[in-house]
Structure 1
Amino acid sequence: MSRLFRDVEGGPLCPQGSVVCIGAFDGLHLGHRALVRHAVARAQALGVPAVAVSFEPLPREFFGKAAPPPRLTLPRAKVEGLLALGVDHVGLLRFNARLAAISAEQFVREVLIARLQACEVWVGPEFRFGKGRAGDIATLQALGVELGYTADEIAPVLLDSERVSSTRIRAALSAGDFANAARLLGRPYAIGGHVIHGQHLGRTLGFPTANLRFGGKVPALSGIYATRVHGVGARAWPSVSSFGTRPTVDGVEPLLEAHLFDFDGDLYGRRIEVEFVAKLRDEEKFPDLPTLVAQMHRDATEARRLLMNEQQRATA
């Protein structure tokens, strides 16, 4: 049975041994997928569990609290994605002051050996770990000789002669280049979550929305978008979405608001996924609600047009 664990402390999880892969896995792009699939294949060959180890918050979020970096994937989506790739256990370790202070050797002894009984460890290119990022693949290999496991890194996954990375995907999303982001991810970029109650202002203005929070994280994109919503019916539902802080109505927390075209139903509490297709414009503050509503109508018309054209190209 698949299992999620959060703590460094605790008893052995894999007494028969394991194959471990480690990474931030933000976005689960083509490079991450290659690493995880390789670890899963090695685990199957050895007849032991495959374990993916990541962190929450991500180390760069912990150390950059004043200006957190953008996130591609929320924790739940990351865990679900890793399990879907075939891992048996996911370690979403709480990255706190204690874990930040653990040396590379301590991490190996306490997590990889005492907790996971690793027999193989796999990482991506340029992997660093431990206090001060002092550990690397050479550290893993040297300790492996002493502790009885092997360690190696997979070759980088290249696209257009450049390594696939979360940084490239964030840049593509920021530029509204969803086609390139999808190539790097291996799938269209989407954000999922449970629909929550908002201020119900959209319904008052004639644009009811399904609202998703972004878990207190900083999103990698903001603005108004042509989108598709999955999880509502048998097909992806065409929609127009706003993702941002809603400056006209003095919003603060980033909120993803999807208006589903020609939809009449209650989505509260349902888990949906909003797929981004094209950016219409940046978020802006309007002088009053009538001006905002007029722009919302223009956005909806443009989103319908873009989605219809894209569908026609796909079926041509």
Structure 2
Amino acid sequence: MELRHGAKTVELRRGWLRAKRDAALSIGNFDGLHLGHQALLQRLDTLAKPGDLEPNFERVVLSFEPLPREVFTPANAAPIPRLSSLREKLAVLAASRQVDVLHLLRFNRALAGLEAEDFVRHVLCATLRVRQLVVGDDFRFGRGRRGDVALLEQMGRALGFAVHTVAPVEVEGARVSSTRVRAALCAGALAEAGRLLGRPYALCARVAHGDKRGRELGFPTLNLPLGRKHFALHGVYAVEVRGLEDGVLYGVANAGVRPTVGGVVPRVEAHVFDWAGDAYGKQVEVRFCAFLRAEQRFAGLDELMAQIAVDAQQARAFFGQS
């Protein structure tokens, strides 16, 4: 699988496929690809181009599917929302122009039980041919999270790779993390989340057929299934939509289960202003720009229609279209 952004392509590799070139590599979940992750990628890009007299390294990000917390979270516990799907992760990496390959390992209890030294020897060295390794200052890995930067540096000296740590990025005096981004989104603090991400929070998804209920109510919507992704946002938002045509379209979107019509499966539905084309099957990006209200159950469809009209008016006003 490849994802192209302009002239740049990011290749997706899976499993234990051995690399063909030596690598500058960074490891992590990279959920959301926030400013802290971007600092790792910037260092990775710099180290991959050591100079005119030395060969360039392939720029590789090693990540995991499913995310480790999704394996270890008890079945009866509330799921932790993902900030980015695999496609969204690929899109941001491609846009950065700092990564050649996203290499995914299937995360399971067997991989989690691998001793740190074995992970370095068999995954980083034998499979991925690491020569330059970039990690955060608090990076931990291996069985029981026993591996740390000191162990990496010790093994790097023996096995022929260098270890580079990147200091945490801080915004407003606090460390940027996926947990902090998630908390901001769940609180409806889109501006704060955008500062931590370095860009507006967005959903990338393919438009699917729905039940056409929005069209019946006079507000046709793009139906955007979330698949296995547990979404961080719930409520009604003013949104920008990209991918339907050149440029940006504006609209209003609901993220939730649609309780008034008996919905149970979370989804995102976006009504695009002043647009009536065929969207089915198109890959779109929906950027969430302003929180308007929480999702709620209405007494009937007439009350729901009236509120949607108010939501649309508020979203238009936010974009200066009123």
Q: Taking structure 2 as the reference length, what is the TM-score of the superposition? A: 0.91
For residues 140 and 18 of structure 1, the distance between their equivalents in structure 2, rounded to whole angstroms, comes to 16
Q: Which of the residues 243, 249, 252 maps onto 2:255?
A: 243
Q: Displacement of 1:65 after TM fit?
A: 4.9
Q: Displacement of 1:110 after TM fit?
A: 1.6
| 1:13 aligned onto 2:22 | no
Q: Give the aligned residue type for 1:296.
A: I
Q: Displacement of 1:44 after TM fit?
A: 1.7
Q: Give the aligned residue type for 1:19.
A: A
Name the counterpart of 1:3. 11
More displaced 10-residue stretch of structure 1: 79-88 or 105-114: 79-88
Name the counterpart of 1:22. 27
Q: Which of the residues 72, 93, 103 maps onto 1:82?
A: 93
Give 1:175-194 correspondences, 5 Å limit. 175-194=187-206
More displaced 10-residue stretch of structure 1: 25-34 or 79-88: 79-88
Give 1:285-304 correspondences, 5 Å limit. 285-304=297-316
2:10–2:90 CA contact under 8 A, matched in 1: no
For residues 277 and 84 of structure 1, the distance between their equivalents in structure 2, rounded to whole angstroms, comes to 20
| 1:283 aligned onto 2:288 | no
For residues 27 and 93 of structure 2, the distance between their equivalents in structure 1, rounded to whole angstroms, comes to 11
User: Secondary structure of 1:27's partner?
Assistant: coil
Q: Which of the residues 284, 300, 305 maps onto 1:272?
A: 284
Name the counterpart of 2:37. 32
Give 1:8-157 correspondences, 5 Å limit. 9-10=16-17, 12-14=18-20, 16-45=21-50, 46-66=55-75, 67-85=78-96, 86-157=98-169
Q: Deviations over 1:289-311 (max 9, x none)?
A: 222112111111111112217x9
For residues 244 and 269 of structure 2, the distance between their equivalents in structure 1, rounded to whole angstroms, comes to 15
1:53–1:93 CA contact under 8 A, matched in 2: yes
For residues 83 and 278 of structure 1, the distance between their equivalents in structure 2, rounded to whole angstroms, comes to 26
More displaced 10-residue stretch of structure 1: 27-36 or 286-295: 286-295
Q: Displacement of 1:98 after TM fit?
A: 2.2
Q: Displacement of 1:70 after TM fit?
A: 1.1
| 1:201 aligned onto 2:201 | no
C-alpha RMSD of matched pairs (Å): 1.7
User: Secondary structure of 1:276's partner?
Assistant: strand
2:10–2:93 CA contact under 8 A, matched in 1: no
Q: Taking structure 1 as the reference length, what is the TM-score of the superposition? A: 0.92
Change (3 A) 1:303 1:31: same
Change (3 A) 1:220 1:125: farther
Name the counterpart of 1:314. none
For residues 5 and 162 of structure 1, the distance between their equivalents in structure 2, rounded to whole angstroms, comes to 34
Q: Give the aligned residue type for 2:209.
A: H
Q: Give the aligned residue type for 1:3.
A: E
Q: Give the aligned residue type for 1:25.
A: F
Change (3 A) 1:104 1:68: farther
For residues 78 and 289 of structure 1, the distance between their equivalents in structure 2, rounded to whole angstroms, comes to 38
Q: Give the aligned residue type for 1:50.
A: R
For residues 65 and 289 of structure 1, the distance between their equivalents in structure 2, rounded to whole angstroms, comes to 38
The number of residue pairs the alignment matches comes to 307
2:36–2:169 CA contact under 8 A, matched in 1: yes
Change (3 A) 1:251 1:106: farther
User: Secondary structure of 2:62's partner?
Assistant: strand
